[in-house]
Amino acid sequence: MKTLDDIIVSRAIIEKFMERFRDNLDIDVAICGGGPAGMLAAYYLAEFGHKVALFERKLSVGGGMWGGGMMFNFIVVQEDAVPILKELGITPEPYSEDGYFTACSIRTMATLTAKATEAGATIFNAMTVEDVVWDGKRVGGVVVNWSAAQVAGLHIDPLTIRAKYVVDATGHDTDVLKTLVRKNGVKLSTPTGNILGEQSMFALSGEKDVVRNTMEVYPGIFVAGMAANATFGGHRMGPIFGGMLLSGKKVSEEIHNCLIKQKSLNR
């Protein structure tokens, strides 16, 4: 390269991003939040061949996985989730004989990010899902804006993405579902019809609950990961991550089945 034209650099970035953004305005699945549950859901849904985009509020994906436990950057996974990590190309190390394994949190999330994007999932970082599309009966997409605009408190209208299914994988906050309930007073498929809120630390129960609570809670919107426990009043579990991985896998399988049904009905 003899010369370097700054304008070509700018044009390349603008054109490539716009191409990608335009290509993701009408998709199969919009995933809100790039923690372990959302990222794993993105990976499997893309592997199934669906058009999936993940929106992450922060600059980097990873959510609570990056920091391991209290910034000691290791995660613990239990035996049931080891096959998922192996499928990604990560071999966790056995820690004790009764089924505890460890893995580097940085390597796990970096690998998961690479696998999800290689499979065809698109990640939009630094974008916040600030609302959903709702026609009175069903959620039909997400409303997104730059996180920086929100942080600065700028009055800037968002843009809309149509999606056949939305996954709230926003973790402890249950941010997207909260907005749906607050604005529209809809009844969820929880015992009270509302978001129950998470309970304190009890890993044994929390890890079981997170998989059981992963489901469609209102037509068009699923909860996965810690958002599922926060929705159904399950316990938190701290830096044991098997449940998050299993929840991400489960939500992808449930949505895959729904999409297959829809596609065969439309034929």
Dist. CA 92–CA 40, nearest whole Å: 17
> The tokens of 210 are what?
């997170």
Q: Which of 27, 28, 31, 36 binds ligand 48F (CB under 6 A)?
A: 36
Sole window of 23-31, 54-62, 98-106, 187-195 interacting with ligand 48F (rule: CB under 6 A): 54-62
* Structure letter (DSSP) for residue 202: -
Q: State the nearest-atom distance from the C-beta of 138 to ligand 48F, in Å.
A: 20
Q: Which of 176, 181, 246, 259 binds ligand 48F (CB under 6 A)?
A: 176
Rg (CA), the chain: 19
Sole window of 12-20, 76-84, 188-196, 237-245 interacting with ligand 48F (rule: CB under 6 A): 237-245
> The tokens of 11 are what?
């044009």
Dist. CA 29–CA 4, nearest whole Å: 39
> The tokens of 112 are what?
């998961």
Q: Does 128 bind ligand 48F (CB under 6 A)?
A: yes
Residue count, binding to ligand 48F (CB under 6 A): 31
Q: State the nearest-atom distance from the C-beta of 267 to ligand 48F, in Å.
A: 34
Q: Does 27 bind ligand 48F (CB under 6 A)?
A: no
> The tokens of 101 are what?
């394994």
Q: Which of 27, 31, 33, 51 binds ligand 48F (CB under 6 A)?
A: 33
Q: What is the dihedral of CA 101, 102, 103, 105, to 10 degrees?
A: 130
Q: Does 68 bind ligand 48F (CB under 6 A)?
A: no
Dist. CA 111–CA 107, nearest whole Å: 6
Q: What is the dihedral of CA 115, 224, 220, 143, to 10 degrees?
A: -70
Q: Which of 24, 29, 38, 177 binds ligand 48F (CB under 6 A)?
A: 38
Residues forming contacts to ligand 48F in the complex (CB under 6 A) are 32-38, 55-58, 63-65, 128-129, 169-171, 173, 175-176, 225-227, 236-237, 239-241, 244
